[in-house]
Every structure is written in structure tokens, then in C-alpha cells.
Amino acid sequence: HLDTAEHKVGYIGNGIEIYQDRTTCDNDRSRDRWAIDRVLLEKEFTRDPSDHRTVFYLAQTYDCLGERKLAYDHYEIRSNMIGGFEEERFYSLLQCGKLANDILKNNHLAIHWYTRACTHTNCDRAEPLIALSYIFNGLKNVKLAHAFAKLACELKYPKDDLLFVDTDCYDYLRWHQLGIVSWYAGKMSDGYLGCMEAIKSKNKDIDRNNLTFYESLTTSNKQLICNSGLGLDGDMVSGCTYCKV
């Protein structure tokens, strides 16, 4: 196998290695293959609906084919199955949250699934935390949006996990989100750090622009933010009602 950036390699155990190569991906050929896989997996699912791998790969196949409601239904089945490869279960919970949000347009159901994904991994994966931050930011609950984004930014990259780690979430998205929601939550030092790390990762205009807001803060601006009752990361600001200095 090739262990490169273009070939994500995982080791399941007992000498079994997995890798993926999409450098020669052909969408039409892939769709034809998925259609064949669907027939085989549906037949196997009918024969043995308790097989963890069959349920998981059937859910994925439906997802690849654009059958998103069927994908949701089968990810839900896999998420409630005990045993098997636990990262499949985590990913199923994560996908249930995504599909609940995307196709069912149900924020509360999405929050349920993402929260289960968090508890399943003891909050050691950033992907569901950032998804929750996005949802709560959309609901104008900036304190929770900030809390989830900050928790995501405190995590280390899960180098020992094998299945579908969202590298972009760790390298960029969590920092980008922290840079946004921290402003509205009054957490200025968190926001500054988020912008700096996002810029270090991708150097996008949006993050450089966001950074200017933090850099332009004057003492009076900080007092205004503190006096709103939101706090300022424990910074002591002269003249602030809450800092008492």
C-alpha cells in the first residue's frame, strides 16, 4: 500500500490494512459500483440484519447514491447496534446529526445525534462539537456556540482513529468558528487565537478581516463588552463594573 497524504491508511488488526485512493476516481464508474454494492448489501441485510458491517456499508452506499433518507434510516440502525467496530458507530451518530439537519431540517434532532456522538467518544472528537457550535450559533445562543467551539479547539488530532477523521475540521474549521463566535460571546482572547490559527492554516481573507476587529479593540471597546455582562476571558479592564478595577 502507499502511505501518503493521498492515501489514508488504517490498520484494523490481525494483519488487515485499509486504504483509499481517489486520485483516479471516476464518478460514473463509482456510481455503477455503488449500484452493484446496493443490490449485494440489501440482499445480505435481508439475510442477516444484525451484521454491523453490512448495515454500516449499506448506509454509506445509500448516502453515496443520494438516497439520503434511506442513509439516515440505516445510520440510525447502526448507531443503536452494540458491538462491532466502534468508530463505525461514532460515524453513524455523526451522519445522523448531519442528515437530520440537512434533509429533515430538524435542529433539535440534529442536536440529539451530535450530543450522542460527543458522549460516545467522551468528547474526544472535534467534528460533532463544531457541528453543535454551528447549530447554536444559528440559534443565536452564542455562549453555547462558543463553549463547543472552544472545547473542540482544545482537542488533539485523533491520530489513532482510523475512520473518516475530518482533517480540515482540526486544521482550520474549528479555529475559524472560534474566531467568529468568540466575538459575539465577548471572549476576545479566544477569538484572537482562533483567527490567528485559522490564518496560519489557510490564510483566508475572511479570517484576516475578522482579526482586524480584535486588533482594533480599544480600552473603551473592552469596557463596553465587559459591562454587557459577557465577560472578557478573565482580563482586568480599568473602569469595568465587573472587573472592579
Average pLDDT over every residue of 28-42: 90
Q: Per residue in 115-146, pLDDT tens?
A: 999 999 888 999 999 999 999 999 999 999 99
> What's residue 26's pLDDT?
57
Q: What are phi and psi of 147, to 5 degrees?
A: -60, -45
CB 87, CB 162: distance < 8 Å: yes
Q: Per residue in 58-97, pLDDT tens?
A: 999 999 999 999 999 999 999 999 989 999 999 999 999 9
CB 202, CB 191: distance < 8 Å: no
| pLDDT above 50 (res 102) | yes
What percent of the chain has pLDDT above 70?
78
> What's residue 10's pLDDT?
43
Mean pLDDT (the chain) is 84
pTM: 0.79
Lowest-pLDDT range of 70-84, 96-110, 154-168: 154-168
Residues in a beta bridge with 10: 18
